[in-house]
């Protein structure tokens, strides 16, 4: 009956840690107490009895429920960490994209002003030269 109670904890949602752990730990400790009382009260024999096998098997099943729940908690926290890490990475790449666009616009504006200034300087210093094709492109943008 304790093994069934322990297995019933598998149907408790993983988010309800106190309920699930209380059920699993209580059944495991109760079986451990039963095993200790049987081993102290039963007469010592040189062979393994069916009761010993039964109790140890029941204990193994209840202990495996605890191990399973610890693995589920660990994997769900790892998945949560992975999802958070992925979300933060996407947000930072979006922010970098926004910063990159702003810096690119600033650089284009600076380049355009530099080309415009050099073209102005050329026309002032060398009036006979034709303007470069870059000047007309930057003047349009």
pLDDT tens per residue across span 79-102: 776 677 677 777 776 666 666 666
Domain of 9: which CATH number?
A: 1.20.58.390
Report if residue 121 sits inside a domain. Answer: no
Report if residue 124 sits inside a domain. Answer: no
What's the burial of 65, exposed, middle or buried (CB within 10 Å: 0-12/13-18/19+)?
A: buried
Q: Are 57 and 64 in contact (CB under 8 A)?
A: no
Going residue by residue through the chain (141 aa), what tens digit of pLDDT does each one get?
888 888 888 888 777 888 888 888 889 889 999 989 988 888 888 888 898 899 999 999 999 988 888 888 888 777 776 677 677 777 776 666 666 666 767 767 766 666 666 666 566 665 665 555 555 544 444
Report if residue 114 sits inside a domain. Answer: no
DSSP 8-state class, residue 12: S
Report if residue 140 sits inside a domain. Answer: no
Number of domains in the chain: 1
pLDDT of 123 reads 63
Q: Are 14 and 72 in contact (CB under 8 A)?
A: yes
Report if residue 29 sits inside a domain. Answer: yes
d(CA 20, CA 11): 9
pLDDT of 138 reads 47
In three-state secondary structure terms, 73 is helix
Joined together, the tokens standing for residue 62 give 């209840």
Report if residue 39 sits inside a domain. Answer: yes
Report if residue 48 sits inside a domain. Answer: yes
Report if residue 131 sits inside a domain. Answer: no
Q: Are 55 and 48 in contact (CB under 8 A)?
A: no
Joined together, the tokens standing for residue 60 give 């193994």
How many Å separate Cα 111 from the centre of its chain?
43
What's the burial of 20, exposed, middle or buried (CB within 10 Å: 0-12/13-18/19+)?
A: buried
pLDDT of 141 reads 47
Joined together, the tokens standing for residue 139 give 């003047």
pTM of the model: 0.54
Q: Containing domain of residue 80, as a range?
A: 2-106
């Amino acid at each position: 009956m304790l093994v069934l109670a322990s297995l019933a904890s598998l149907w408790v949602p993983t988010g309800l840690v106190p309920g699930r752990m209380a059920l699993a730990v209580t059944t495991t400790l109760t079986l451990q107490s039963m095993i200790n009382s049987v081993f102290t009260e039963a007469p010592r024999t040189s062979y393994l009895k069916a009761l010993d096998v039964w109790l140890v098997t029941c204990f193994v099943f209840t202990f495996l429920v605890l191990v399973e729940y610890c693995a589920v908690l660990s994997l769900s926290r790892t998945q949560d960490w992975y999802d958070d890490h992925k979300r933060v990475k996407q947000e930072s790449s979006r922010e970098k994209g926004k910063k990159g666009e702003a810096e690119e616009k600033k650089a284009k504006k600076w380049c355009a002003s530099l080309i415009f200034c050099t073209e102005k300087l050329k026309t002032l210093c060398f009036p006979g030269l034709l303007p470069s094709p870059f000047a007309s492109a930057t003047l349009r943008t």
